[in-house]
Homo-oligomer: A and B are copies of this chain.
Amino acid sequence: MSAFNAATAVHPREGGGVYDVDLDLGWSIGGKPNGGYLLAILARAATEAVDHPHPLAVSGHFLRPPEGGPAEVHVEQVKSGRTVATVRSTLWQANKPCLDSLVTVGELAGAPVDYTSMTMPGMPSPEECRSRADTPFKVELLDHIDVLIDPATAPFPTPTGHPMIQGWMRFRDGAEADALALALAVDAMPPTVFHLEKLGWAPTVELTFLLRGIPAPGWLAFRAEATFVADGWFDESATVWDSTGRVVAQSRQLALLGRG
């Protein structure tokens, strides 16, 4: 079993509606479980609770950061259907909800692309990129995912003033990314607002993940960008392409600027 599958495993309780999970701090940033890691767990519970394999749209609202260790996912099916079903999937710990989500699940057939304006950006090869681990911050997650940043968009040592980061990623244990891993992928890069010298912890308030394809084996390419920063808030959108250059995931989050 891959490290990702083990760390996101969900164990159904008898009677239904509740899954036991074990939050693994190996998938953290500075001791806080990564938001995309938590969303992947909620999406896994949602797909297991109903008879559709793929989390097409996952909208997560972050309530409070959980600790590592035991937690529960509570699922409630709010719509069943032939094409899609919708599940509310909520992470609980110590009798408090930590992350609430609505998840619409269905199945992607892998049909040819009809239209795209999101072509994969031209970037240096993975060998020519810089590891995300080369920063002043402790990012435990990087023991499991190799995140490589196009040097022209790396926020360290010199922020560019343009909040965009692109690069490559893959699991270190050789596992190939699947649909659930993409929920993690869209949140595995550094905050793009580092380029604006906002270096504090930037808590995500809301993140919506859209699955657009099942990734082919190989490196994932990503690009994340903030477009509007005001009133202490910023948006950040991410796109992920598979090794064939096909879009496989999109996300947008609303986050609070760090105090740094």
Is the CB–CB distance between B59 and A228 below 8 Å? no
Docked Cα-Cα span, A257 to B111, in Å, equals 13
In angstroms, Cα B230 to Cα A112, docked, is 6
Main secondary structure of the interface of A (DSSP, over half): strand
Residue A163 interfacial (CB < 8 Å): yes
Q: Give the segment of A32-40, A179-187, A231-239 that binds chain B.
A: A231-239
Whether the pair B104, A231 counts as a contact (CB closer than 8 A) is no
Interface size class of A (residues with CB under 8 A): 35 or more
What residues of chain B lie closer than 8 Å to A101, measured between beta carbons? 102
Distance in Å from the Cβ of A60 to the closest Cβ of chain B?
Answer: 8
Q: Of residues 231 to 260 in A, which have CB atoms within 8 Å of B's CB atoms?
A: 231-235, 237, 246-247, 250, 252, 254, 256-257
- Asked if A178 lies at the interface with its beta carbon under 8 angstroms from chain B, I say no
Mask, A49-81, CB within 8 Å of B = 1, is 000000011010101100000000000001100
Q: A115-B196, A115-B228, A228-B116 are in contact. Are A56 and B233 (CB under 8 A)?
A: yes
CB–CB A252/B254 < 8 A: no
A132 within 8 A of B: no
Complexed CA–CA distance, A113 and B84 (Å): 40
User: In the bound complex, do residue A114 and residue B229 qualify as a contact, i.e. CB atoms below 8 Å apart?
Assistant: yes
Q: Complex Cα distance A131/B59, Å?
A: 34
| Given A61-B57, A78-B100; A228-B206 close (CB under 8 Å) | no
Q: Which residues of B contact A206 (CB under 8 A)?
A: 56-57, 59, 102, 104, 208, 210
Are A235 and B254 neighbours in the complex by a CB distance under 8 Å? no
Q: How far does the alpha carbon of A177 sit from the alpha carbon of B229 in the complex, in Å?
A: 22
Are A88 and B100 also in contact (CB < 8 A) when A56-B233, A208-B206 are? yes
* A86 x B61 contact (CB < 8 A): yes
CB of A212 within 8 Å of the partner chain: yes
A205 & B100 in contact (Cβ 8 Å cutoff) = no
Chain A contacts to B: CB under 8 angstroms: 56-57, 59, 61, 63-64, 78-79, 83-84, 86, 88, 90, 97, 100-102, 104, 108-118, 162-163, 196, 205-206, 208, 210, 212-213, 225-235, 237, 246-247, 250, 252, 254, 256-257
14 A-B interface contacts by CB (under 8 A): A56-B206, A59-B206, A61-B102, A78-B90, A86-B100, A111-B231, A113-B229, A114-B229, A115-B228, A115-B229, A115-B230, A117-B227, A210-B252, A237-B252
